[in-house]
Structure 1
Amino acid sequence: MPLISSAFKVVDMKQSPPPLIIGERVNAQGSRKAKKMVLADDYEGLVGLAREQSDAGAHCLDVCVATTERDDELETMVALVKRLSLELDTPLVIDSTDPSVVEAAIRQIPGRPVINSINLEGDGSRFSGLAPVMARYGVPAVAMCIGPGGMAKTAAEKLDTARLMVERGREYGIQEWQYVFDPLTFTLATGQEEFADSAVQTIRGIELIKAEFPRSYTVVGLSNVSFGLDPYPRRIVNSVFLYHAIRAGLDCVIANPRDLIPYPDVPERLRDAAEDLIFNKTPGALTALLEGCAGADTQGGGSAPKPAVDPSWPAERRANYRIINQLKEGIERDVVLAIADNIENPTVRDDGRTASIDMEPRLTHEAAIATLNGSLLPAMKTVGDMFGAGELILPFVLKSAECMKAAVSELEKYLVKKEGASKGRLVLGTVYGDVHDIGKNLVKTIFQNNGYTVYDLGKQVPLQKFLEKIEEVDADAVGLSALLVNTSREMKHFVDHARERGMDIPILCGGAAINSNYINRLATDGGVYVPGMFYCKDMFDGLSTMNMLMTDRAALLSEWRDMLENRRRPSGGAPRGGLPRSSIKPVAPPRVTYGATIISDIDYNMVWKEVDEKSLFKLGWGVRGRAGQKQEEDHQKIYHAMKNVVQEIFEPQIIYGYFRCRS
């Protein structure tokens, strides 16, 4: 299965859209800050560094603690991954050249990590040392395209090395999905002819590897392609290279998510210069890029120049632009002024930094709704479209979502909060494993301002918490939100649970990761979910569905069931009787009784034989050392006396069962 996990979260290695981001900063060999913390045994600082990467959008974290100053890599790695596993829900990538360190870390982690890395350099000892670990624990590994002859430089060499690695791996039982091939990325900063074509060879190598091994994955260390450049041109090259690598089939990237620039934010002339360099189109591409970057206003320290917000634009356009371009500062003022622009004679206070409207919500409500529909929601739709097209990666979507959250928070001040009788009760939350709540928050705002009582459970909501709140408030419906493909599977867990227990709760589902086909399939797998499971493409569609549930539920469910029936009806083609059939007869399953079987009347002597007395005394009772040995006879007497008591109180039973699996 192409999944990695921590104790708390499962992450699909195939992100949709890609890439899976591996945070690179918890690495003593790549970060001076991390190295200083490792040498000082500053585990608190390392956990903080990891949390920053996770909060910035990293799906998993590369962890490397090897230093030349110390020889306790194994102990340090085990201690750090233990802390990270307890305090963060982000899966880990174990970065070490020592198989014993890697295996010790894997044994410590309550989940499935990734190994970084294996290769076939020299005598292949790096591969033969870690391949058994991959097979034993079923973990994937970054597989660097380094063969017996050294680093693969051309696309063909990269593919040949991947082939050789897959062939060697068969001896150990390694599966194709366990390879995360790194086709190697070399710096373009030297201007040397030897590496002028290296980036395009890497991109072509990704295409070749994905074509021949479609179930494998690919990864690049992004910062390698620009190593040696100044910060700003480095980020330009990284952004443009990443965009084209993803289009070629790249699945994962090792990078600092805080250092990335959205591809659309790269000025066109610099984008063209970077593409000339990456694809080796012109001999002077590097010089042209550096000259172009030298003339750019990076607003200090090599950061990307922020897109300018023209103060002459209408406020609605400014608010829209800020959300799309992740410009949070000033968005509250623009939202207020946008609302004011939709009021005939507004009373506005504006000092140039903050603004407010001195009018009652009943007079501003319609204008606020117009701003929401005309400026804020279209901005998030644009962000979603760019995310789907691969022009934005997840960290930038999260930044736009933060802007949207601030905008909606300000806008809510000018909406009428309807009091009195509620039109209905909705339990709402983002499913477990998903930390994205901007869409869910918008649903809450719209529903509340249309007379519904919303019980917002927040994000990363476990199934049990949904169930408890539904029962507590006697909810009329439940709303499940998910942004990511892997977390949308929680919706299946919910409807399966509700179906099996005969719950009577309609389910409204929404989020970027799902569509109507997916929800309709969940609603019918295992039998139609009678109370109804509805796909809501946006908050207004959800509101319309909720209104129908509360006014004419029978008509809505009848229409919904007709839609499901039409979906399942064959759409023509040859009749089933005319299709070719295999002559192979299926194997009949054994004759068994389905369900659980309980065996009682167990001989207690059989039970006592399975008890490890030494472990019981040492681990259960805490009996250790010489004092324990001196009192061993007393412990045996107590143990035998307790056995008699236990036999009077408990009746041992065995339970087993056969259950029909779901195909």
Structure 2
Amino acid sequence: MKASVASLYQAVELHQEIPPLLLGERCNPNGSKAFKEALLTEDWDACLKIALDQEARGAQVLDLCVAYAGRDEAADMLQLTQLFSGSCKAPLMFDSTSPDTLELVLPLYPGRAIINSINLEDGGANLDRICRLAKKYGAAVVALTINLEGMALTCEKKLAVAKEIYALAVDKHGLRPQDILFDLLTFTVGSGDETMRDAAIETLKAIRLVKEELPGVGFTLGISNISFGLRPAARKVLNSIFLHEAVDAGLNTAIVDAAKVLPYASISEEDRKICFDLLFNRHPDALMTFIDYFEQVVEEDDNVDETSLKAEELLQQKILKGDKEGLGDLLTVLRGRWQPLDIINNLLVPAMREVGELFGRGDLLLPFVLQSAEAMKQSVNLLEPYMEKQADEGKTSILLATVAGDVHDIGKNLVDIILTNNGYKVHNIGIKVPAEEIIAKAKELQVDVVGLSGLLVKSALLMKDNLAQFQTVGLSQPVLLGGAALTTKFVAVDCAPGYQQPVIYCADAFAGLKAIRDFEAGKLVSTQWEESSVTKNRPSPQQEVLDRSFAPPIVPFVGRKLVTDVDVEKVFNYLNKAALFRGRWGYRRGKMSKEDYAELNANTIEPLFQRLKEQSLNEGWLQPKVTYGYFDCVSEGNNLLISSDTGEKIFSFPRQENAPGLCIADYLRNEAEGGDKVGFFVVTLGDRLATRTKQLYESDSYHDYLMLHGLGVELTDALAEYWHEKMRIEMGIQQDRGDMEAYVAQGYQGSRYGFGYPACPDLGAHDPLFEMLRPDEIGISLTESFEMVPEMSTSAIVIHHPQAKYFAV
């Protein structure tokens, strides 16, 4: 059966009797300035006009790409699919590698589409998802010969990758060979790169070889790639010659602006010879001869490329979009015009600066910022082999460290990502770093600025102590402080006065970036704080009177239990998605309308969550385990005396200095009242998730790193919430479970207080707790500062008193 694609109005055969089938390429914001402007201003009529113009010029299928930084790809693709479906006779080719976007539009398209594209860049996971969609909705697919090693350059490599893809798409997923269009990739012969002189030869040989080895499959190519970097008039001729040769080799379809294709017969013999010499690398001076020859040709003003971008603009757009595809070829062209360091300083860094500005205005969400950082990082990595060693000289340098005893590094690593990809030199010296090592490294590396990070209350107090040590030894660098337990007031009032240089509170990575820029401008000053009139006039809270009449609960056992068979699926039921999506992942509504945010949630955030959930379960990244118990106790002032099989333990808790003067020990009965019962637990997700996030960070997969780490942190809290509920049930104080909002608001009796957090900030309490519960038996250990390892672990004291709620000391 012949392979065809169809719109609402007509069907078109993929394998034309007289090839090639022309695939229009201008509905793409990354290659068409006009389409980009129409998309960004949501001028849908202008988008449609560009599509219809291509039809009028001979395009038989329309490639539709809408992925662009700061835009909702799924929503835009849906909008234009619905518009184009009713107005365009040409079938559509959905240019997206997002399965979630494809799954949204494929069932709504009233025809048979092409999916552009699949590859093996991630080993095949994305390919599997897209092939399932292609099979389900009857779509054809474009397959790029890319695998874990990158883009296939030689004929042999192109064949090998094509065979791998064929085995998965045809043998595993049941797609028909004739529904696969292999894009064997071609690269510019116009860059002067010696390794690309045979690019056209390798591609043409590969088409013939794959056609022979994999009967029935089709082929496509982005024809204009062969001439990237050359003058428009020269490109038009070279593209047309290359298209002729590719069709002769077996090419079925071509991604090209039909208006830019010259009839082969209209091209002079002299033009053909010059092009053939370059395409087939017939002599060493073929490129210079070609350039000199076409310098004499007058450019045609046919408006064919008012929509195209220069290489410099295209690189910056790729950074803004977070698009890594084709960076190698693009940078090869730019290296012929710019020094590598100039590309970084004049093109890449300004693009990342714009990314930061978009984020600061609320026009770009954090996940998209990290995708841009990935593209920036890859660009720099590709340029590094061509840069002189002293390229870092003159850059502002920053030392980053998580303070002693603190194993949390997500905040510090995000700062590293943002600063590094804005052109700064970052020395990230890790976690649990004592002040002495920070001082030694700051002096050894001669850094300009020091940045300290830490999650816990104890870490904030340690930063204050570190600053005193810095002052004693005469450290001269400004210090940036960041962490969840810090506040503007604490940094300004408690930290800054103890150090001679500026001390700045940075609420997030971009506050750190602003501080570095202020430093370079000579405007960096310590964080200031002044009590507002609202704070001054706020009425003092009243002393809380606790009900002492509540009897201790009946507990199922006294002592401890280990649980190693926790149902992972149940843990997900206790996940606070709002905290995950908006807090950990950074998908905040910001300037979006309620409707737009709902679409983002449905089309991007929720599918991402489901994908990570499925991966976590399938890959075995989650190993939830619990040790918990109930113990006899009596309160004595601020202390809690615990009877356990390892002897009496004493837990001391701080008391609020001002009304209502709360202390955790107050919620439990004293000896005169007959004593009480108290619960404790330690839970963990194990160490596999941390291992996976570390791999993602080290491979510069910043977006996936943030997403998976955030999921792990919130799942740890979900496991704690789940086990707290189980303990309330066992104590007989659990009412019917409400929704997640009720849980967040503590809509239940009792409370759990995590060690290291505001109501009980002393991590030293882990010492007696570990003797009582023995968390080492479920793989948890303590650092010298009593912090738990693995990171995805948490502990709590469980109080049954009805008035017990969260509070801070």
Give the structure-1-normalised TM-score: 0.45
Report the TM-score, using the length of structure 2 for normalisation.
0.37
Larger Cα-atom Rg: 2
